[in-house]
Chains A and B, each alone.
Chain A
């Protein structure tokens, strides 16, 4: 009886010490969740999720104010990564936010551009160059394809051009060799 009691007390003490130690040792400073979510988001800054950018959306997810399926540019893999990180069930993308599209860049038809600078103000990553009454141009390598420059353009001179597959961005395909039935 006494030994059992002592053993139990000893065990409780030991486990308590281990738990207390690990609480100190593995203490996490701050709230890294927003940054972790933000790291998964594609940083398109398109606002299709209903928030003014990726970081606000990440903050909203972290606070439970937004769902994980509201990011079309991140697509299915992005949603899965978020589900993985947050330990929730994956769910299909919310069609209200838009559907995934092939990655594109904005291109300004330069002889139509009137130099109104509206698109420059709309661009979330400062990827459009130009000055008032001067023709504007898109820095293709910095463009995230968010399409935010399209609505403000008064002359509709901006179009989204999908990035073509070239030798340098070409990817090997998933091997598809079906198990065919040999005789049936």
Chain B
């Protein structure tokens, strides 16, 4: 098949061989697991358990809250020990609400069954997937059930499976494709069915020939036709939009979803978890994590979610003496972990034990000399040197008008900057300031509206009170002047008389003789009363 190119890109040293020597290894189930309620993009999951509850493996601990949200499950059987704020693997280094689960050592599965997805309505399958906690495992952690819901307005023609894994050091998808190709293909088959997509293409960078071969073999054993495409190794070719461009030649319009051009993109590991859930009934409770860098046994480990990263690194033989920290993700887009004592989450694709020898300390930044190397490598074709200038000067509106929000934060610009300016940090800063000020602006608009409504209400109440006062004043004057009062009373009586005259008695026809006499008697009594007036 013919391939296309995207602008820019860089070729950082790959460092992948270190962690591909050994097959995926398993780890012993830790005694304690910590499961953050926020492991995905969207709303925080809703708690479904309480402290002290005993749960089984695969049991729902927190349910998705709304459409864009994902569930959290128990990776093993045990007791809920705590529900509290704990440090999570997040760039902010801030704590968030987590469930602490003490394993009972039995690792006993709860009730779980395969789903006959073809016998059910697609929406029912998707609802089931929503409760399975399936999210994009490439790192974006967007809930997959949302992306799998076929939209009539934008039918998906092409399903793209992302096996590019362009970041240096990371090999978890590579190993998964080598070892579990059949399962991945099965997952793709299910996804293709759900989306009603005509084609499925797996994009794999040409530095992973083993994985591509394994996927080709698995596809040839499957009845449906899936194309395995090897794409040139070029960072960030594994970005969803970049991979779509390379494979289809189409660009996802800015600010739109890939479905607007008839494409949907998932990571290979996501396809694998879809298979695990549909064919085995297992929700997402573990993932493959690359542990590499300055550790004794770099490699890929199948890790239960919630395992402390420090324990995982110990399982990989521990860090070398010169290691000075842990990075989650790759060297281009990863972040420093606030501590080793944070759990593995759904988005943990790679842990790198960093060291000065591995990642040299960043030298002080020099002024920008406008050499435009950053613009040459920008995969989105932005002008990073201009964005840097605007972000640095807090000129946010200008930054936005130069399409700051199209930046994918891939780090290519910083990677090639001769002045060693932390460009991506400036863009992240500008983006979060803009988003915060947008939010503040919205809140201000709400406050303005509420204030105006309140002022209007006060004005109205004042008016009503004034009207009441005026009426009472009229009444008081009437008391003072007898004629006026008499006239008012007479008018009221006249009104009452008129009303009475209007009332037509009902049920006066077809009366039984008994009732008729009764009515006559009553009327007679009334007449006497009226006469007395």
Contacts and interface: CB of A to CB of B under 8 A. Distances in A.
A166 B450 contact: no
A182 B363 CA distance: 10
Contact of A45 (B362, B364, B433, B451): B451
Contacts of B96: 166-167
Given A142-B446, A177-B422, A179-B366, A125 B451 contact: yes
Contacts of B432: 170-172
A114 B436 CA distance: 37
B414 to A, nearest CB: 10
Interface string A160-184: 0000011111111111011110100
B90 interface: yes
B429 interface: yes
Interface residues of B, number: 33
A42 interface: yes
Contacts of B92: 165, 167, 170
B435 to A, nearest CB: 8
A55 B429 CA distance: 31
A70 interface: no
B94 A124 contact: no
B103 to A, nearest CB: 26
Contacts of A69: none
A63 B196 CA distance: 63
B422 A175 contact: yes
Interface string B419-443: 0001001101101110010001001
A166 B88 CA distance: 12
A38 B441 CA distance: 11
A45 to B, nearest CB: 5
A174 B429 contact: yes
A177 B422 CA distance: 8
Interface of B: 38, 88, 90-92, 94, 96, 362, 364-366, 422, 425-426, 428-429, 431-433, 436, 440, 443-448, 450-455
B450 A175 contact: no
A139 to B, nearest CB: 10
A33 interface: no
A171 B429 CA distance: 7
A172 B425 contact: yes
B362 A177 contact: yes
Contacts of A127: 450
Given A166-B94, A170-B94, A178-B364, A38 B429 contact: no
State the 9 A-B residue pairs at the shortest beta-carbon distance, nearest first: A175-B425, A43-B444, A172-B428, A43-B447, A125-B450, A171-B432, A170-B92, A43-B448, A172-B432
B447 A45 contact: yes
Nearest to B43: A168
B454 A179 contact: no
User: Looking at chain A, what size class is its interface with the partner chain?
Assistant: 20 to 34
Interface centre among B422, B433, B443 (most CB of A within 10 A): B443
Contact of A142 (B365, B436, B447, B455): B447
A106 interface: no
A156 interface: no
Contacts of B450: 125-127, 142
21 contacts: A38-B448, A45-B447, A53-B451, A55-B452, A124-B451, A125-B451, A126-B454, A142-B447, A165-B92, A165-B94, A166-B94, A167-B96, A168-B38, A169-B436, A172-B431, A174-B426, A175-B422, A175-B425, A175-B426, A175-B429, A178-B364
A178 B422 CA distance: 11
Contacts of B433: 171
Nearest to B92: A170
Contacts of A54: 448, 451
Interface string A138-154: 00001010000000000
A115 to B, nearest CB: 20
A44 interface: yes
A167 B96 CA distance: 7
A43 B447 CA distance: 6
Nearest to B366: A179
Contacts of B454: 124-126
Interface centre among A41, A165, A167 (most CB of B within 10 A): A167
Contact of B436 (A41, A171, A182): A171
Given A175-B422, A177-B362, 19 more contacts: A42-B440, A44-B447, A53-B451, A53-B455, A55-B448, A55-B451, A124-B451, A126-B453, A126-B454, A142-B446, A144-B447, A165-B92, A165-B94, A168-B38, A170-B94, A175-B425, A177-B365, A177-B422, A179-B366
A24 to B, nearest CB: 30
A42 B442 CA distance: 10
B94 A167 contact: yes
A173 B445 contact: no
